[in-house]
Amino acid sequence: MPSTARPTEGGASVPDLDPAHAAAALRSRVRTWLTHRPSRWSALVPVIAMAAGLLFATSSTTARGTDLRSEATDLPDVIRERTIDNERSASRVRSLRTEVDDLTKQAAPGSSRLRSIDKQSRASARTAGTTAVEGPSVTVTLDDAHLKASEVPEGFTVDDVVVHQQDVQGVVNALWRGGAEAMQIMDQRVVSTSAVRCVGNTLILQGRVYSPPFTITAIGDPEDLRSELDSDPSVSIYKQYVDAVGLGYEVQQSDETELPPFDGRTTLEHARPLTSAR
């Protein structure tokens, strides 16, 4: 059958296809779709990609360049986290020291030279605080006054009813002057790198935080230790506040006490030499 022309929207005309030709074209399109139609999984790929992009964009907007995990930002929280880390590190140090000692004993030959070195090492370790020490002791306990803000006596402030850094340091210095051979604050051995610091009414010692009451234990001659405590000016001033506002002060004596070895690092990280004045 000859083709006829039908008008288009623009006024032009296109020829109509022969019915046989039209049927053949339709069969060709169906065959092409059946053999090349996309699978269900390939159709889902664009959807998954869009969802992933949306998730990344949401995370970026929420985080605003920071970590999405909850982390401590306040000083007390940071101190608590560092305390936990220090305790884990100390446990690891103890384990490694025990392992080193065992390996040294196994590998080292028995000789007079070795015994001499070992004797010197043990003597240095005692001075450095890395070995346990036993002996008679004196323990001083300092505590805050258990007063409410409204109960603070007239002429004093709330700052006067708590134990401060200088109070702990005064007791420590007095005990050293009294001939202390070894010392422990709370549950930690005091060594040459130990520093007493207070934040508010909490004590920070070698990366750990303690709340009052604070205990300081010194091994040595009890009479000499107590005598120095009684005559020390800083301790005497503290005792005046004990009478005035009720700060806690208690001295106990023991015939036999064992102080554990220091289990932290003894290497200085930040130090500078002091030049003598001219």
* pLDDT tens-digit readout, 57-84: 665 555 454 443 445 456 666 677 777 7
d(CA 31, CA 239): 103
**All residues at 6 or more sequence positions from 180 whose CB lies less than 8 Å from its CB, including other chains:** 218, 219, 220, 225
> Is pTM beyond 0.75 here?
no
Summarised one tens digit per residue, pLDDT across range 176-186 is 999 999 999 99
SS3 (DSSP) at 132? coil
Compare 23 and 137 and report the one with higher pLDDT: 137
**145's tokens:** 């006054």
Residue of 257 and 89 predicted with greater confidence? 257
Those residues with Cβ within 8 angstroms of residue 211's Cβ, 6 or more apart along the chain or in another chain: 201, 202, 203
Query: What integer pLDDT is reported at residue 58 of this predicted model?
Result: 61
Q: What pLDDT score does 3 carry?
A: 45
Which has the minimum average pLDDT: 41-50, 86-95, 211-220, 231-240? 41-50
Q: Is the pLDDT of residue 251 over 80?
A: yes
Residue ranges of the chain assigned to CATH 3.30.70.1880: 135-259
| CATH number of the domain located at residue range(s) 135-259 in this protein | 3.30.70.1880
Q: Look at residue 33 and tell me whether its pLDDT is greater than 70.
A: no
Q: 5 in helix, strand or coil? A: strand
Burial class (CB in 10 A: 0-12, 13-18, 19+), 94: middle
